[in-house]
Amino acid sequence: MGTTQDKMMQDVRLAGYAKRTQEAYVAAARDYVKFHWRSAEEMGQSEVRQFIGHLFNVRKLGAGRIKQYLAALRFLYAKTLGRPEAVSFICWPKQPQRLPAVLAICEVFALLKALRVAKYRVLAATLYATGMRVSEVCRMKVTDIDAARGVIRVIGKGNKERLVMMSPRLLLVLRTYWKLVRPARPYLFTNDDGRPMNPKSVSKALTKAAVEAGIAKHVTAHVLRHSFATHLLEHGTNLRTIQVLLGHSSIRSTTIYTQVSAATIAKTKSPLDQLLPTG
């Protein structure tokens, strides 16, 4: 792919995509070129169609993975190569909507208790207390904490900046953790070499702790984020506020939590209650 790959990497970086998205797009474009053994400049709509057919019929990728490939090809031709007609036919595959897993408050407590290593326990508490993504917490710096205003500055997807709440209890937990662990500056959660913690190691720790705590659900860092949003909703926080806290660009991404809020659903009166006497 050569110079086209370099140009595409530069373009996705300038577009403000997250690093993982940049890498995924370039890898997908590289996959496409390798499939045909020709440069992207030499190919067009016919080759794009063949490759998409291969993804669907031979590799049998799921809708989410297919969508990532389609987005990469669309970016490659529409932006980097300036030939949008080559990908104008692309439509997004419909993804089955599944409700996110959510922990009960007692399960969150049991999970935190089962995390024996301080940095994992405090990191998990931070995930649940703020709704931040695990990558955001792993890159969290001491200077991001504004104790006076009660907020944490977060650099999210696409380098978008937002503020999340810093509860007095979380501040106390973080201060105690700092005195005990003394992580290498500027980051709050680090490996032994002083670099930010790897989200994969956090996932492993959470999985192990969930088993020890007897939690049957598959627990990930994102489940704590889902639990944060759902519990806020159940306690009366409006969707717009939750959207801002989570860093969702669209309110539609946030409305999923109205479907998993047990308290909201339980408070909704059934029409049967109006039809039949309760006594």
**Active-site position among 32, 77, 120, 257:** 257
**Active-site position among 36, 79, 157, 208:** 157
Reply yes or no on whether 226 is catalytic: no
**Active-site position among 74, 119, 133, 139:** 133
User: What does the DSSP assignment read for the chain?
Assistant: -THHHHHHHHHHHHTT--HHHHHHHHHHHHHHHHHHTS-GGG--HHHHHHHHHHHHHTS---HHHHHHHHHHHHHIIIIIS--GGGGTT--PPPPPP-PPP---HHHHHHHHHH--SHHHHHHHHHHHHH---HHHHHT-BGGGEETTTTEEEEE-GGG-EEEEE--HHHHHHHHHHHHHH-PPTTBSSB-TTSSBPPHHHHHHHHHHHHHHTT--S---HHHHHHHHHHHHHHTT--HHHHHHHHT-SSHHHHGGGGTT-HHHHHHSPPHHHHHS---
Reply yes or no on whether 98 is catalytic: no
Reply yes or no on whether 248 is catalytic: yes
Reply yes or no on whether 195 is catalytic: no
**Active-site position among 119, 139, 225, 231:** 225
Reply yes or no on whether 157 is catalytic: yes
Rg (the chain; Cα; Å) = 23
Reply yes or no on whether 225 is catalytic: yes
| Catalytic residue ranges | 133, 157, 222, 225, 248, 257
